[in-house]
Chains A and B, each alone.
Chain A
Amino acid sequence: MSSQLEDVPTEVAVVDTVHSAEPPDEPTSPKSGGLPPGLRLVKSHAGLFVTPAIIIFGSLALYLYVQGADKIFQDERSLNWDANLRPQLEQHLSITFWATLFTIIVAVPLGVFLTRPKYRRVGSPILAVATSGQAIPAFGLLVLAFAWLDRGPWTTIWALALFTLLPVLRNTMVGLEQVDQNVIEAGRGMGLTKRQALRQIELPLAIPVILAGVRTALVITVGMAALAFLIGGGGLGATISAGLKLSRDLVLITGAVMTALVALSVDWIAALIEKTLRPKGL
């Protein structure tokens, strides 16, 4: 559990490096210019294969550990797959999915809008406000959302979508702004309309950076969804909490390890998507 909480600031820091540096590569395929191309390929593929191996191995180990452990009545109830763990897992994933989807739906068009020459001037103040908003702790935001809205998963989804808006918005803006102006100039000079230039040149070239932001948002969301149970949102956090309250290590470990495995899986899928959508030739 605590490892999940610590993940959050680390990920935010990653986003910051993204802005100052050149277009980021996914961590699984480090750019490390020193490496010969062949070795880089091996490394990036290795990254994509290592994660699922860890996930499979972890799931198997957890399964065997739970099967082999002595269980009391409360353990049996907390660890019941159909009645407890599966619904929690589904809630956890759906919170992550919807929060990220709303973030993308709002942040990407907003980022596009704020980088258009006409509105560029309002872009930086909005980004500044959004950045300072990021200082609000996720937990505080959840509680605030709870105070405003109601209990339940949708409150969590709105709160998390709001919280992860920033990395996606920032990466969208930075991704679009780092596109070589000469490429756009050449395209416009050949008669591409503004819209065509955006769709055919700017967005494809910004995609790697935008996706890096989305992936960051996903990882933040999947971690913070573990707190959703606090305001009645469900998720695997409930099992972790039960383990703590009952002082049952078995339940606590199951909840924590499952949360970690979900986070790893989501990140891996995001990495795959990033790899597929990244335009060739870059």
Chain B
Amino acid sequence: MSVTDNSSYSPQATAAFNDDVAAPMIQLQGVGKVYPGSDIPAVADLDLSIPEGEILVLVGPSGCGKSTTLRLINRMIEPTSGRIIFNGEDVTTVNADQLRRQIGYVIQQIGLFPHQTIAQNISTVPKLLGWDKAKTAARVDELLEITGLDPNQYRDRYPKELSGGQAQRVGVARALGGDPDVLLMDEPFGAIDPITRDRLQNEFLRLQGELKKTIVFVTHDIDEAIKMGDRIAILGEQSVIRQFDTPERILAYPVDDFVSDFIGSGSTLKGLNFERVHDLKLSDDWPVVNVDTDRGDVQRLYDASPEKWMLVLDREQRPIRWVNDRHLADMTTPLAEAGAKVTALVDPNATLHDALEEMLLSNAGQAVVVDGKGRCLGILDIERLAEVLKRLRSQARKHYEDLAVHEAQLNAANGPDGSGESNS
């Protein structure tokens, strides 16, 4: 069965193998959910480690049980088997209400209390935790501030006076009310128009950069998963983890057909979003001359190069023209005006995806990398990009091969059980 094939990519193994994975904030150990009257489990024997301070995205097709999995974590759905470890403590049987006050919860439908003001909504958890009035009020204002709503304007409004985007901001603020370490988000931006969604996603990522919460984020949208996730768990039927890794590696190396089907076409292009121009070695094949160079030297340099185009820089080293042999033959036009204007300029911080777009738009088929002052740092061409993609793929494959070896050693040491843990 394919499930057993994938067991070598289990999150425990990945977590143990990767040094960069933070200590798990939440661990699900063999957690399962079987609804009464059903033989088939909704979630079957799930092992999942959620690293501290990261966004873990659970993504999968509709009905795969990803929402159920999320709701098992704060025990909105009680698991029928397995253990949930929260911050090193077994919380499988503790008071669920007490547990939930330490875990923020955001749902797609938001569920603001319509009969309470925004301030009252946000102070729900602080009130449950018994904070005093002054502390609660200060917290409300702080949360409205960081979620981009003016406290003076919104504090005393009612939810029906908010737009969908504003309502979800309040939803996030309310979830952060008691300053929980963990935030569970069930398709939080799913019901919001694409433009607002994009803005909320960006703002949320910025916010997370400051707050460093441990976040479990459920979505069915792979693009959202790639954008939001520090790590992605791709789930199949019954919440079986098909692949658990960083978005980069999942895009570079989908472990099976299920994952690659789910990621869909264009995964290579999406992968380019994670590489930046300054990370790669720029091409030095291209002839580059200064605008003041003697035309004879220019011609010699051009003839010596295999490339068909030559880049002309001005006195400040800024790229100005692309010239080819036809332009060079025309001795009457000065170099500064010959050939085609340089259009595709990219910043070293640009993603390769952006760089590729610039390259496709430029007439020479390559992009010039320039620093902040516009000075030429080098040239980026399609061959470079292809090399990068090849490197990414081979690195990811090597990672998984090493992982398999590591797993085999682990199995040899611990016996067939692998992780050494059993569901008591």
Contacts and interface: CB of A to CB of B under 8 A. Distances in A.
Contacts of B113: 183, 186-187, 200-201
A193 interface: yes
Contacts of B159: 281
B109 A189 contact: no
A182 B97 contact: no
A280 interface: yes
Contact of B100 (A180, A183, A191): A191
Main DSSP-derived SS at the A contact region: helix
A192 to B, nearest CB: 7
A204 interface: yes
A205 interface: yes
Interface in A150-194: 180, 182-193
Contacts of B124: 187, 190, 192
Interface residues of B, number: 29
Contact of B101 (A191, A200, A205): A191
Contacts of B117: 281
A192 B128 contact: yes
A115 B142 CA distance: 38
A190 B105 contact: yes
A187 B76 CA distance: 11
Contacts of B125: 190-191
A183 B160 CA distance: 13
A184 to B, nearest CB: 8
B98 interface: yes
Interface string B122-164: 0011001000000000000000000000000000001110000
A185 B107 contact: yes
A185 B103 CA distance: 14
A183 B112 contact: yes
Contacts of A186: 105, 107, 109-113, 171, 174
Contacts of B105: 186, 189-190
A133 interface: no
Contacts of A282: 114-115, 160
A205 B177 CA distance: 23
B107 A189 contact: yes
A102 B160 CA distance: 36
Contacts of A183: 111-114
A189 B106 CA distance: 8
Contacts of A182: 107, 109-111
B74 interface: yes
B409 interface: no
Contact of B158 (A190, A193, A196, A281): A281
Contacts of A191: 97-101, 125, 128
A279 interface: yes
Contact of B76 (A185, A200, A204, A280): A185
B70 to A, nearest CB: 10
Nearest to B117: A281
Contacts of A188: 76, 100
A281 B160 contact: yes
B115 A204 contact: yes
A28 B275 CA distance: 65
B115 A190 contact: no
A188 B171 CA distance: 14
Given A182-B109, A182-B111, 15 more contacts: A185-B76, A186-B105, A186-B107, A186-B110, A186-B111, A187-B113, A188-B100, A190-B101, A191-B97, A191-B99, A191-B128, A280-B115, A280-B158, A281-B117, A281-B159
Interface of A: 180, 182-193, 196, 200-201, 204-205, 279-282
27 contacts: A180-B109, A183-B111, A183-B112, A183-B113, A184-B111, A185-B76, A185-B111, A186-B105, A186-B113, A187-B111, A188-B100, A189-B74, A190-B100, A190-B101, A190-B128, A190-B177, A191-B128, A192-B97, A196-B128, A204-B115, A205-B114, A280-B115, A281-B114, A281-B115, A281-B159, A282-B114, A282-B115
